[in-house]
Amino acid sequence: MKHIPRKRFGQHFLVDEGIIDQIVRAIHPQPGQPVVEIGPGMAALTQPLVERLGRLTVIELDRDLVTRLRLHPQLNVVASDVLKVDFRALAASLETPLLRVVGNLPYNISSPILFHLLDFVDAIEDQHFMLQKEVIDRMVARPGTSEYGRLSVMLQWRYVMERVLDVPPEAFDPPPKVDSAVVRMVPLAQWQAVPQALLEELVKVAFSQKRKLVRHTLGRWLDAKGFSGEFDVQRRAEEIPSQEYVALAAALTD
């Protein structure tokens, strides 16, 4: 019986064999590696991955798809909302310190998934995701550009990222109304440890009024915190490099 893509799950199934092959080559899976696929759908990416790996863990919420996937003898199926998955515990259950995470992420919740995974970055070797191209543009954006924002700062704090492939709408069934791309995310070996919740709050405040100088937003927030250090608030949020936001969070915790 043909599975009908469900809008509430943001399902757009990858069907272009050439694109699938390019994604698999970008991931470069090796036999025995602990790979986790988010949202395997109709197994377009799953099958070529498992053929190279021998075994693959998949996370799927759609019960109809879970039933199908469990018929595959080489799949370890986690039937769950990915936002509820503890990736550190999953790594422990697979007896590995680091997971490789891949997937064609549902575009309607891609940012929440990225922020959820940020909580478990110490348990991840790398990530390869298909996302809306616009989202990836924001992830890799540099300061001083219109794409640069909260997502850029938070992810660049912990990852080095690159767009490795552009994917047209016709590669999917049904075709999405946006262009897609594949991003590679590798956790940084060197990074400044600051409380994630504090950095998130700080960055959210800074970008709450992008067109204004941050003295109207972040400046007032820093005053309320009793911050007595130095920080140039005569700039717009998009002009401030991510490392300066991180350094400010560090100064607030000293």
Residue 39 counted as an annotated binding residue: yes
Q: What whole-number distance in Å separates Cα of residue 11 and Cα of residue 108?
A: 9
The residues that bridge with 78 in the sheet, in sequence order, are 59
Residue 12 counted as an annotated binding residue: yes
Residue 81 counted as an annotated binding residue: yes
**Distances in whole angstroms, Cα of residue 141 to Cα of each of 119, 126, 144, 224:** 21, 19, 9, 30
Residue 244 counted as an annotated binding residue: no
Q: What whole-number distance in Å separates Cα of residue 153 and Cα of residue 158?
A: 9
Torsion (CA) 59, 126, 42, 176 in degrees, nearest 10: 110
Under 8 Å CB-to-CB from 165, ≥6 apart: which residues?
Answer: 19, 22, 23, 26, 181, 182
Q: What whole-number distance in Å separates Cα of residue 45 and Cα of residue 60?
A: 14
Residue 166 counted as an annotated binding residue: no
Residue 41 counted as an annotated binding residue: no
Annotated binding site: 12, 14, 39, 60, 81, 104
Binding site feature residues for S-adenosyl-L-methionine: 12, 14, 39, 60, 81, 104
